[in-house]
Chains A and B, each alone.
Chain A
């Protein structure tokens, strides 16, 4: 479980996160929605130990992301937006390197199993620089689940992908959640994706969390809205007013 309490982050001249409190339960697929510059990546950076909060706390599986950062890193998987990996190395070499950094034992067996699960075994000896963006994204996901993390953080995982690539990634994430029981936390601004795979959503605007609930509850609460897009704009406009 991820629990963030009163999280605030200041950059010079800007408050990127403003008293954000949030809970993500085990096994959920949480879609974190917000416009560009809303604070999604800042929150994700704090959750993944890349950045320190100015105040507040974040606990993942009862471990503090600041005090127990090395332990937290051992149980999280992460896929940044537009990661290019090491182009000169093959898929297997990339995964072997990153898997070893994640302290994966029997790394080659883990690579085989992960690539098999992602339907990507035939590309294991291809250099990453020869792969399409969608294929590279699969390798990125493979490295993020190689050590079977408890929670997987994804930053705009379908950004820049064509519809087919987007559908592929969506299926892969659903499989990871179902087969490995991994909690998934993803930053996105693609509302259509959220409705297709997320169990829970959070909406953030200008650093403030406007809503966090199960998708079902949100749809019930705003049953007069025809789509998530309409809900999103209504909540956003409500705050703006």
Chain B
């Protein structure tokens, strides 16, 4: 479509010259590095505790606990939280002013008098945001693989890499749905600050309020961690907690993300394709909002009263 790539290119250029945006990107990258560091030190601590238990058991002649199964990708599991928290805010930041800013600055009128279809403006912006978010996630992937190799001493194998790539694709869909939401709000509002505030309220509900409500409705069992020697609460889904969880894409993203990053031992060895099939409803739930919100934005931009 005419003009699409130029609009996308302009979005890229303008975003990477925005100091606030660069700051959020830096925070996201730093948090992802910290996440790998925390994950690896936790795993190392668990291993050390196990080794200490073995040493004690060997000395005292007591029963030696079974060898723990280590799922290496689990050291990346905090990434899920960072995408929910910082990734979504970054996407909102990219989108909340994307349309209204053009309207306010008069550049929307300029673009609309160029020989390009109106839809190009929305699709170009989506493409630009997609490139920015994709680039950020690719850099995160490379960083994480490098750190993973550094901390574990081995490069992730094909299956592990595939899990991380699929996770990042789903993270991409999750972040794009926030961008598409912010862009749609931006087409509807005449005040950028109002759009930002509205999207932040949506983000708070999706990321914190609903997940906590769902969490509060779970049933809890207790389990003893025989490696660390601690007692842990094991949450169990109830019908109500599951139903509430479906109100929040964050809950579904965390669920799929945790499965892919081997944070849940029950699903840690399942093949990626089977995992995706089993989670197809959740994956669709993360993709569909972007599509619907984009269609709504396209409908909005076709209206005469967008100026």
**Residues of A bordering B, CB below 8 Å:** 45, 48-52, 70-71, 73-74, 76, 78, 80-86, 88-89, 93, 97-98, 100-103, 143
B14 touches A88 (CB 8 A): yes
B115 touches A102 (CB 8 A): yes
The verdict on B271 contacting chain A, using a C-beta distance below 8 Å, is no
Which chain A positions have C-beta within 8 A of B9? 97
The verdict on B67 contacting chain A, using a C-beta distance below 8 Å, is no
Bound complex: CA A194 to CA B3 (Å)? 36
Q: Which residue of B lies closest to A93 (CB)?
A: B13
The verdict on B106 contacting chain A, using a C-beta distance below 8 Å, is yes
Q: Of A76, A81, A89, A93, which one neighbours B113 at CB under 8 angstroms?
A: A76
Interface centre among A85, A98, A101, A102 (most CB of B within 10 A): A101
B307 touches A97 (CB 8 A): no
Q: Which residue of B lies closest to A70 (CB)?
A: B115
Majority-rule SS of B interface residues: helix
**Residues of B bordering A, CB below 8 Å:** 2-3, 6-7, 9-10, 13-14, 17-18, 105-107, 109-117, 304, 307
Bound complex: CA A52 to CA B105 (Å)? 22
B240 CB to closest chain A CB (Å) equals 47
A94 CB to closest chain B CB (Å) equals 9
A84 touches B107 (CB 8 A): yes
A101 touches B17 (CB 8 A): no
A–B pairs, 15, beta carbons within 8 Å: A50-B112, A50-B113, A50-B307, A52-B304, A70-B117, A71-B115, A82-B106, A83-B107, A84-B106, A85-B107, A86-B14, A86-B107, A88-B13, A88-B14, A102-B115
Closest 5 CB pairs of A and B: A83-B106, A101-B114, A88-B17, A84-B105, A73-B115
A73 touches B105 (CB 8 A): no
Bound complex: CA A169 to CA B14 (Å)? 28
Interface centre among B2, B106, B115 (most CB of A within 10 A): B115
Which chain A positions have C-beta within 8 A of B105? 83-86
A103 touches B115 (CB 8 A): yes
Bound complex: CA A145 to CA B14 (Å)? 23
Given contacts A51-B304, A85-B105, contact A143 B115 (CB under 8 A): no
Q: Which residue of B lies closest to A69 (CB)?
A: B115
Q: Of B7, B17, B116, which one neighbours A89 at CB under 8 angstroms?
A: B17
Bound complex: CA A83 to CA B6 (Å)? 20
Given contacts A80-B109, A83-B105, A143-B110, contact A97 B115 (CB under 8 A): no
Bound complex: CA A98 to CA B307 (Å)? 18
Which chain A positions have C-beta within 8 A of B113? 48-50, 73, 76, 78
Which chain B positions have C-beta within 8 A of A74? 115
Bound complex: CA A191 to CA B110 (Å)? 26
